[in-house]
Structure 1
Amino acid sequence: MKWLNKLRWANLFAGLLWLRSSLKRRITPAAGIIFPSPIALVNRIDYILQYCSGKTVLHFGFTDYPYTREKIDTGELLHLQLKKVTKYLFGIDNQEVSLNKYIQITGDSRVSKGDILDKESLKIIDQSFDIVLLGEILEHLKDPHQAIENLYNIFPPATVFLVTVPNYTSLNAIAGSLHGKEMIHPDHYWYFSPVTLLRLFPDDKFEIDDVMCGMYFQKDKRINFVLQKFPLLGDCIIGAFKRK
């Protein structure tokens, strides 16, 4: 029931206000020195579609393995949503089974197999793009620094790297910790915060275009008042970095 759901969010809001007040003394003076502030909270899908609208986009990990068929059937696959708004879209993925399944179902030929950590496999990239989209990829890599270095060496200045990674202070992660559980995908190697994401994109090589938090909502779903008040409880961190 809607009223019960609103009551739960109101209780959560009150609890978070109390928790913030009671734990304030645990914040050390150095904790926020390099924190990228202020942080906003957005619907991840809406933000990506708006940012990529009318642009040429290279989309890594586009099949969303292992949920490719399911998300194609429901229309939730981000790559298919991007096809409707981008000027040109090309997809690269290292999961051959999902890649072949995607081609078989959609007939889309603007895709190829490639591995972001394998320089040789990236030689298939023979053109420039306005945006290189890395959605929920870096946390799966053993060496995300090498991945960014590989891409930096391929693309020309002014290319934007649009990145989303899971947020280590997400509401789900906090809920898990309070119940003695770690809410993490079994294939993840890393946690991210706004600051640790920035460190993958050093300022001698990249300019920061945007940094914010996002929710894994479906398209056009609004952010409720509790999450607006506490944006760092968002599901993910979003960063846009322009190559110098």
Structure 2
Amino acid sequence: MKNIFKKEKKAKYLEFDNYWVQRVETTAIQNRLAYFEDLCSNKTVLHFGCTDWPIFDPNNNLHIKLSKCTKVLHGFDIDKVGIDNLKKYVNQDFFSDFSEMSDIEYDVCLVPETIEHVDNVKTFLEGLSKIKAKIFIITAPNCFSKEHLSRNFYGDDYFVEVVHPDHNCWYSPYTLRNQIEKYSTLKVDNVKLLEEDKMICCEARKI
């Protein structure tokens, strides 16, 4: 009798020793902006990477959008020229160094697509650990996003990568969570994939 049941294809990762296999439970979030606005609505928020250097557009700037729904919104960015420009649109506190931070406790510390730009991730995450916040939202582009991978091109003797020229690294769901927990006093509660799977988002709290 013919077997009518198809044999399932064995997942490739099952061929590897467990030491190499890192499983990360994820949740899908379709609309990144709506997710941020919902988290920050009527909250006291500290927003890292607020100037969106070097592609600032007042019509598409996240800090300006968040200023319309938050109770208090402070910004953090090493781009001091960009901060001076952003002050024309959002008249609240801005910081460029962890030493400038006040003792305020925030409801949300939002760090969207910033960590891949920093020069020293360990120092940056140690600085984040000193901030008083109820929840930390840290996101980064996903190196394994189907869309990101489809943009790359292998030539015979060259490689074309479509990426922001100021990025220092790519992250995966595992490596972003791993660095946060390795270099900070934060514990990642949830890992989400935003905008299909283009962005990784770690929701974390202080241990």
> Normalising by the residue count of structure 2, what TM-score does the alignment of the two structures yield?
0.81
CA contact (8 A) 2:138 2:201 kept: yes
Residue aligning to 2:116: 139
In structure 2, the CA distance between the partners of 1:28 and 1:111, relative to structure 1 (3 Å rule), is farther
Instruction: Describe how 1:42-191 pairs up with structure 2 within 5 A.
Output: 42-68=30-56, 71-72=57-58, 74=59, 76-104=60-88, 106=89, 108-115=90-97, 119=98, 122-155=99-132, 159-179=134-154, 180-191=159-170
- Which structure's residues are more often strand, by fraction? 2
Identity %: 28
Question: Which consecutive unaligned segments of at least 5 residues does structure 2 have?
Answer: 1-7
Q: CA RMSD in A?
A: 2.6
Pairs aligned (count): 194
Whole-angstrom CA distance in 1 between matches of 2:167 and 2:177: 19
1:207 to 175, 187, 198: 187
- Return 5+ residue gaps in structure 1 as ranges: 1-20, 216-226, 228-233
Which protein has the bigger helix share? 1
Q: Deviations over 1:101-147 (max 9, x none)?
A: 1223x2x33132413xxx4xx33333111111111110001211221
Q: What is the DSSP-based 3-state SS (H/G/I as helix, E as strand, rest coil) of the residue aligned with 1:89?
A: strand
CA distance in 1, matches of 2:91, 2:68: 16
Report if aligned partners of 2:13, 2:21 keep a CA contact under 8 Å in 1.
no
Relative CO higher for 1 or 2, CA cutoff 8 Å, sep ≥ 6? 1
Contact kept? 1:35, 1:194, Cα under 8 Å: no
Q: Runs of 4+ in structure 1 displaced over 6 angstroms? A: none
**Would the aligned equivalents of 1:93 and 1:113 in 2 still touch at CA under 8 Å?**
yes
Amino acid at match of 1:103: K
| Cα deviation, residue 178, structure 1 | 4.9
